[in-house]
Structure 1
Amino acid sequence: MNGPSPTPGEIFYNSLASELKPQEVPPPVHGPQHRARQARLAQWIAQQGGGIAVLAAGEEIIRNRDNPFPFRSHSDFLYLTGFPEPDAWWLMRVDDKGNTETVLACRPRDAEREIWDGIRVGPQHAAQRFSADRAIDLSSLDDTVIALAGDMPAFYAHMGMDAALDERLRHWLSAVRAKGRAGVNAPDRIVDLGAAIARQRLIKDSDEIKTMRRAAEISAQAHVRAMAFTRPGHHEFEIEAELLHEFRRQGAQSVAYGSIVASGPHSCILHHRAGSRPVRDGELVLIDAGCELDGYASDITRTYPANGKFTPAQRAVYDVVVAAQQAAVHATRPGVLLSDPHDAAVRVLAQGMLDLKLVAQSSIDALIESGDYKRFYMHRTGHFLGLDVHDVGDVKTPLAAGMITTIEPGLYIRPADDIPTEFWNIGIRIEDDALLTAADVELLTRGVPVQADAIEGLMRG
């Protein structure tokens, strides 16, 4: 007896599945490194007495109707697995001796959905390609977690970030407790996993540094292209288009954050998104933009004159910001706190405010102590950079070799009765990505000029 005829989706699916050999499944970006990262995390969990770690990739978020936002896995999930698909889960059972079992749960292959959304990896290839001992269908997730959690002292997971995840953890914990009459001991606590992974992520391994170096190169070339393109009359969105085209042309998958292209008075708005305003002769253009490559961010800011020539007032302010960045760079080295480069930059900026007669105080110390300098400089001088553009770590974190930070002082002078008019609407920020080495710092983003004379030379062509 003949069975039902295959649907068009099944025909398409079967034709692709028959051609898709295991070696053709896209490999993870940093495959061998994921195992090493998992091993470091397992060592820490073993030191705490063992347990089961649970991480979620996250779900697709619908933008409107059936149109989702582009999906990107949670950064901790990417760091440990490299797996790119939504709805996935990663599990690691660790005993007190450090023995581990890792499981990747992912969506099954699906004939109909793959016509619309593309080929899925599926459990049959996931373990081999994405650093897990075994892979399972999502339908088996609950049973697998409950089985792995038996006789383990703790769950390790992100807590307080997602209500649905918190509820699911409570469900799993209750299910294990229900097996108590069968002699199974349930975990007695849930430990937040974020801080432990953050400590690892702060120090970049060789593959991460290679990727971030390339992301910095791409972003620098995009800034050069946008700078050379800019002329009075161009709109902010046209300049942004030059950046985006160069990012994609060179293989970056996305922007690391919404690109800031701010002209004239917009340069004094810290996070102004490119709009329809035309750039006017005599104005500055501030671009804060970076690409994301294989999950890793770059972050560059440059400020330049739309007509290719700084006015005397613009140049005076610009040179102060350059000097502040140089002071922050010199203060960036292993052993200091992230706040130390900020303090160094603030002193130079404060002196500049006094020299330009933007403030009434009589000394740097008085200006800093009063906090009045924040009228013109209201943000920090840097942040950590990695899988997130504002990466894990805080101002009290001691710097160490292998960390990557930004160094980004600025001055923002809005129109006011007590400010000379030649300084009105001058907003300047200069930002580079800095890799901490054993004794010093390497700026990864100097492929785009910083010095005013070099910028003017580039714009002259």
Structure 2
Amino acid sequence: MSATTLDGVFSMGQRTLRVPYALHAENRQRLVKRLVERALPTVGAADHDHWVLLEGGKATTRHATDHEHVFRQESFFQWCFGVREPDFYGALLLSGESYLFVPRMPTEYSIWMGALPTNAQLQTTYGVDHVMYIDEMKQCLLDRGPGKHVTLHVMHGVNSDSGNTHAPPSVVSDWITQPDKSFSPVTVDASSLLFEEMSACRSIKTEAELRVMRYASLVSSRAHVKCMQLVKPGMCEYELEAAFLHSAYSEGGCRHVSYTCICAGSGANSAILHYGHAARPNDGLIGRDSMLLMDMGAEYHCYASDITCSYPASGTFSPIQKVVYTAVLDASKTVLTALRPGASWLDMHILAERVILSHLLEHNIVKGGSLDELVEARVGALFMPHGMGHLIGLDTHDVGGYLTKNPPRSTLPGLKSLRTARLLEEHMVVTVEPGCYFVHALLDASVPLSEEYVNLRKFLNLEKLRDELDLVGDGKGWGVRIEDVVHITADGYELLSCVPREIEDVEAVMSGKSWPALDAKWQSMLQN
């Protein structure tokens, strides 16, 4: 355990944010309050206890080797406890009492990994009521109250972004299958209850959480500005990824990034929505006429940032780059102005599409109908196939998007890619990320697609796209995305990211000038 955690505060050292572990105590209190308000049967009964049992992330190795990955805590466990180490369990009673259960390590462990913290130190650091060993956990449940029945609530639910199932703790299955009559007073609730309630809690941020997210976004903003000042034609895309990673870690203490960096600056790479994956590892050569799309975010104490900047490699926007960038910037500004509690996220997406299509219609890039007809026909999905944004927190695509009580996912082109269709609530944090892309697979009639997309191609002015703008064809195309991290306030929004957006500001920073708005926010963050 690092010395920086022994005072009940997470920190990566000098000049980095100090995060009190009281943040997680507050989260635990919120969860208990929510579960009690659900009026679960037998809550408060003298002969019954309700426990929440969570399993922390596991230490893993690369395939069959002994190469250990850098550990990052499982997000639900992080939200509740903030524990840095792997292989822990945590428990919470509806009375508010909290437990951590830790692996019992051999003394030889300290030879290789450093001195082992005592259970008392862990209790002080993480601010929990009890710390015990994992091999004592089962007996702890039984000893809490002789004659009492215990309902053990565990995680079980499907992540609506990945489709993966959050399975109950593995130890619970072992207990259930063991022929141990002493454990019969324990009932395991593996319904979706805990998953739904914790996800609902996580979608609304506390002030302590917002403070960490402001920090992560400012660290990321500073790294983005450094990339803007560094870029020049002839560089490799990965050089900008390296610059971002170096800035986020060396100046902000962010060891992890929120997702794989997207540094698209070569040819049509900026029209590949999730560029940067293993088969396209940011290895292109940045061309002089390229439009860069830089989507990168740092993570601090597991809280994410997600910022995208788009700008020309030359440092000066060409006429067509100005047209597309202005369309996306106008969409971003219009959506930001409309954000407030009660606003429909579905409506925000459609609003962004409307603004972008109005610019494309004005420049004769689309045709064949009025603006209303184009919006109704879902033509916007040809140019912005992804959702306009998403919840963000301990995960880049944070939980809470499609819970049981939330509006269902749309089946229409573009709208079905939205990661939530909820009404906004105060203290949600979302990304606002409109984009306009000229994607070969969507625009070129020679590429077979489903009928819903093929029918939209009739609205394209292919002659202008192909002949005048040279945007249609294999290996051609590019895109613009503008993405900010936004906190929903009682009467509007707070922008957590701080990067140049206006064309004149982008060009000025790319020429080497400073970005005073960010400098002021950063100094204020360090002082507070």
Aligned AA for 2:351? Answer: A
Cα distance in 1 for residues equivalent to 2:506 and 2:432:
19
CA deviation after TM superposition for structure 1 residue 118, in Å: 4.0
SS of corresponding position for 1:244: helix
Match of 1:422 in 2: 469
The answer for unaligned runs of 5 or more in structure 2 is: 11-18, 44-49, 158-163, 402-419, 445-461, 472-476, 513-528
Match of 2:120 in 1: 124
Cα distance in 2 for residues equivalent to 1:386 and 1:22:
23
TM-score in terms of structure 2 length: 0.77
Cα distance in 2 for residues equivalent to 1:223 and 1:396:
30
Relative contact order, CA 8 A, sep 6+: which one is greater? 2
Match of 1:363 in 2: 370
CA deviation after TM superposition for structure 1 residue 101, in Å: 3.1
Match of 1:445 in 2: 497
Aligned AA for 2:383? Answer: F
Aligned residues of 2:484 and 2:496 also touching (Cα < 8 A) = yes
Aligned residues of 2:23 and 2:209 also touching (Cα < 8 A) = no
Match of 2:216 in 1: 215
SS of corresponding position for 2:268: helix
Deviates more, 1:146-155 or 1:189-198: 146-155
In the alignment, structure 1 residue 431 sits paired with structure 2 residue 495: no
CA deviation after TM superposition for structure 1 residue 363, in Å: 1.6
Deviates more, 1:157-166 or 1:322-331: 157-166
Match of 1:408 in 2: 433
SS of corresponding position for 1:398: coil
Deviates more, 1:209-218 or 1:140-149: 140-149
CA deviation after TM superposition for structure 1 residue 236, in Å: 0.2
Match of 1:37 in 2: 27
In structure 2, relative to structure 1, the CA distance for the partners of 1:92 and 1:414 (3 Å cut) is closer
CA deviation after TM superposition for structure 1 residue 162, in Å: 6.3
Cα distance in 2 for residues equivalent to 1:226 and 1:188:
51
Aligned residues of 2:155 and 2:167 also touching (Cα < 8 A) = no
In the alignment, structure 1 residue 384 sits paired with structure 2 residue 436: no
- 1:100-139 map, 5 Å: 100-139=96-135
Aligned residues of 1:173 and 1:186 also touching (Cα < 8 A) = no
SS of corresponding position for 1:281: coil
Cα distance in 1 for residues equivalent to 2:134 and 2:246:
38
Match of 2:233 in 1: 232
From 266, 269, 277, the counterpart of 1:266? 269
Deviates more, 1:43-52 or 1:219-228: 43-52
Cα distance in 2 for residues equivalent to 1:146 and 1:173:
14
Aligned AA for 2:40? Answer: Q
CA RMSD of aligned residues (A): 2.6
Match of 1:256 in 2: 258
CA deviation after TM superposition for structure 1 residue 451, in Å: 1.0
Deviates more, 1:367-376 or 1:76-85: 367-376
Deviates more, 1:56-65 or 1:379-388: 56-65
SS of corresponding position for 2:469: helix
Aligned residues of 2:269 and 2:478 also touching (Cα < 8 A) = no
Aligned residues of 2:332 and 2:434 also touching (Cα < 8 A) = yes
From 289, 295, 304, the counterpart of 2:311? 304
CA deviation after TM superposition for structure 1 residue 171, in Å: 3.6
Cα distance in 1 for residues equivalent to 2:66 and 2:316:
49
CA deviation after TM superposition for structure 1 residue 138, in Å: 2.0
Match of 1:61 in 2: 60
Cα distance in 2 for residues equivalent to 1:353 and 1:177:
69
In structure 2, relative to structure 1, the CA distance for the partners of 1:163 and 1:269 (3 Å cut) is closer
From 301, 304, 311, the counterpart of 1:294? 301
Deviates more, 1:40-49 or 1:287-296: 40-49
Cα distance in 2 for residues equivalent to 1:300 and 1:126:
35
Cα distance in 1 for residues equivalent to 2:35 and 2:439:
52
CA deviation after TM superposition for structure 1 residue 77, in Å: 0.7
Cα distance in 1 for residues equivalent to 2:304 and 2:394:
6
Deviates more, 1:139-148 or 1:222-231: 139-148
Aligned residues of 1:313 and 1:423 also touching (Cα < 8 A) = no
Match of 1:79 in 2: 79
Cα distance in 2 for residues equivalent to 1:410 and 1:162:
30
- 1:84-99 map, 5 Å: 84-94=84-94, 99=95
Match of 1:6 in 2: none
Aligned residues of 1:61 and 1:69 also touching (Cα < 8 A) = yes
CA deviation after TM superposition for structure 1 residue 292, in Å: 0.3
CA deviation after TM superposition for structure 1 residue 369, in Å: 2.5
Report sequence identity in percent: 29
Deviates more, 1:116-125 or 1:63-72: 116-125
Cα distance in 2 for residues equivalent to 1:436 and 1:302:
21
Deviates more, 1:230-239 or 1:416-425: 416-425
Cα distance in 1 for residues equivalent to 2:274 and 2:264:
9
Cα distance in 2 for residues equivalent to 1:21 and 1:270:
41
SS of corresponding position for 1:187: strand
In structure 2, relative to structure 1, the CA distance for the partners of 1:59 and 1:146 (3 Å cut) is farther
Aligned AA for 2:151? Answer: A
Cα distance in 1 for residues equivalent to 2:493 and 2:4:
42
CA deviation after TM superposition for structure 1 residue 295, in Å: 1.3
Aligned AA for 1:103? Answer: Y
CA deviation after TM superposition for structure 1 residue 33, in Å: 2.7
Deviates more, 1:277-286 or 1:416-425: 416-425
Deviates more, 1:246-255 or 1:351-360: 351-360
In structure 2, relative to structure 1, the CA distance for the partners of 1:223 and 1:22 (3 Å cut) is closer
SS of corresponding position for 2:97: strand
In structure 2, relative to structure 1, the CA distance for the partners of 1:163 and 1:332 (3 Å cut) is closer
Deviations 1:353-389 (A, max 9, x none): 3223233331222222322321211011111111111
SS of corresponding position for 1:351: helix
Cα distance in 2 for residues equivalent to 1:438 and 1:162:
34
In structure 2, relative to structure 1, the CA distance for the partners of 1:23 and 1:58 (3 Å cut) is closer
Aligned residues of 2:8 and 2:124 also touching (Cα < 8 A) = no
Cα distance in 1 for residues equivalent to 2:210 and 2:27:
15
CA deviation after TM superposition for structure 1 residue 302, in Å: 0.6
Aligned residues of 1:334 and 1:438 also touching (Cα < 8 A) = yes
Aligned residue pairs: how many?
Answer: 435
